[in-house]
């Protein structure tokens, strides 16, 4: 039998080993994030300037800027949100206020939405190209890209809105009914305003997801680098621009890094805004 001292030493050792392995694993995240940011800064920062942000794309992207690309990106995101928010919020409202959870219709709709969330982005691209670009005849256009992204962020909006509605105090509904308010008024004047921060978190995450998306946009919104005049024009998103510079343009790495920095910064700001909103929202209702 082991002496108590050796057993204690053994325990100390295994505790320590476990801690060291964990520390290495946890710090790896930091190292990787640091490496990515450092490499992007090293390659891209010299290329970054105000002119880069506002200028036209020249020489396949190697010189000039990303002005038209940014405009196209914003147009795609705005279209995606405008199209996805009404069905997303509406679906969540119906699920939370008009149908009992667990019934067949409720399960069918949530199942469909959850399955939609599992569809890989490249398949959204395939579908968007076949349906929006070809069947509906929208062609390679900002509108096609926006509609495709709308399908992609729809499940996210449904889920976040549903969570926001369900985390409201339960007695809001019977209290409103006791005051003689119709359900329409309850939803419009009480539930939606109260759930608004939660819904906004979802919308913000949706913006970040749309900005990050590449695979769904290559074959829907296209590659054009002109200033877009209307949603019917083709226009490349920032992420597609990075892809093109990295894969198809020799010596495009500097411009690609600078574009990636811009994209990363946008995502960072948007995600911080989302977590700021979420924290305030949580403090209001759950402390």
Partner 1 sequence: MFLSRSDRILRGALVMLALLSGSVVLLIVWFLVAGALPALRDGYLPRLLFDEHWQPGSARDPQFALMPMLAASVLVTALAALLAAPLGIAGAVFHRFYLPKRLAVWNQRMLELLAGVPSIVFGFWGLTVLVPLINRLHPPGQSLLAAGIVLALMILPTIALTSQSALRSVPESQLLAAAGLGMGRFATVFHIALPSARSGIGSGVLLAIARAVGETMAVVMVCGNIAKFPGSVFDPVRPVTATIALEMGYASSSHKALLYLAGLILVLVTGALTGWLAFGKRNAGEVS
Q: Name which of residues 67 to 86 contact partner 1 (CB under 8 A).
A: 86
Binding residue for partner 1, selected from 9, 33, 53, 58, defined by CB under 8 A: 33
54 or 183: whose CB is closer to partner 1? Answer: 183
Indicate the Cα dihedral angle 108, 110, 115, 117, nearest 10°.
160
Q: Is residue 265 part of the contact set for partner 1 (CB under 8 A)?
A: no
| Structural contact between residues 249 and 60, judged by C-beta atoms closer than 8 angstroms | yes
What is the crossing angle of helices 253-286 and 4-44, to 10°? Answer: 120
Which CB atom, from 101 or from 230, has the smaller least distance to partner 1?
101
Q: Is 282 in the site for partner 1 (CB under 8 A)?
A: no
CA torsion 270-272-274-277 (nearest 10°) is -130
Contacting residue, 53, 82, 123, 196, with partner 1 by CB under 8 A: 123
- Looking only at residues 164 through 203 of this chain, which bind partner 1 when binding is defined by CB under 8 A? 182-184, 187
Any contact of residue 21 with partner 1 (CB under 8 A)?
Answer: yes
Residues 6+ apart with CB under 8 A from 44: 254, 256, 257, 258, 259, 260, 261
Query: Dihedral (C-alpha) 75, 79, 85, 91: value to the nearest 10 degrees?
Result: -150
Does residue 247 bind partner 1 (CB under 8 A)? yes
Q: Which residues pair with 57 in a beta bridge?
A: 64
Closest separation between CB of residue 190 and partner 1, Å?
Answer: 14
Q: Which of 129, 149, 165, 191 binds partner 1 (CB under 8 A)?
A: 129
- Closer CB to partner 1, residue 178 or residue 229? 178
Q: Binding to partner 1 by residue 279, rule CB under 8 A?
A: no
| Binding test (CB under 8 A) with partner 1, winner from 239, 258, 277, 281 | 239
- Among residues 86 and 232, whose Cβ is nearest to partner 1? 86
Nearest to 213 by CA among 148, 116, 118: 148
């Amino acid at each position: 039998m082991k002496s108590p001292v050796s057993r204690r030493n053994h325990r100390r050792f295994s505790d320590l080993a476990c801690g060291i392995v964990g520390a290495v694993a946890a710090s790896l995240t930091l190292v990787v994030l640091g490496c990515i940011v450092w490499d992007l800064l090293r390659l891209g920062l010299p290329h970054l300037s105000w002119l880069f942000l506002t200028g036209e794309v020249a020489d396949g992207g190697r010189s000039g800027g990303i002005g038209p690309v940014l405009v196209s990106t914003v147009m795609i995101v705005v279209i995606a949100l405008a199209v996805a928010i009404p069905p997303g919020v509406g679906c969540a409202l119906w699920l939370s206020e008009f149908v009992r959870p667990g019934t067949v219709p409720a399960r069918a709709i949530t199942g469909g939405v959850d399955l939609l969330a599992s569809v890989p982005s490249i398949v959204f691209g395939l579908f968007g190209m076949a349906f929006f670009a070809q069947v509906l005849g929208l062609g390679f256009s900002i509108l096609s890209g926006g509609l495709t992204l709308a399908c992609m962020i729809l499940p996210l909006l449904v889920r976040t809105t549903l969570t926001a509605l369900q985390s409201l105090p339960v007695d809001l509904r019977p209290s409103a009914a006791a005051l003689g308010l119709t359900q329409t008024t309850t939803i419009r004047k009480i539930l939606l305003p109260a759930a608004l921060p939660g819904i906004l978190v979802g919308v913000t995450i949706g913006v970040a997801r749309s900005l990050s998306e590449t695979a769904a946009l290559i074959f829907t919104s296209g590659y054009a680098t002109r200033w877009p005049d209307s949603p019917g024009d083709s226009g490349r998103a920032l992420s597609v621009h990075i892809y093109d510079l990295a894969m198809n343009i020799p010596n495009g790495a500097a411009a690609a890094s600078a574009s990636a920095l811009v994209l990363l910064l946008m995502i960072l700001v948007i995600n911080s805004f989302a977590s700021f909103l979420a924290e305030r929202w949580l403090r209001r209702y759950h402390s």
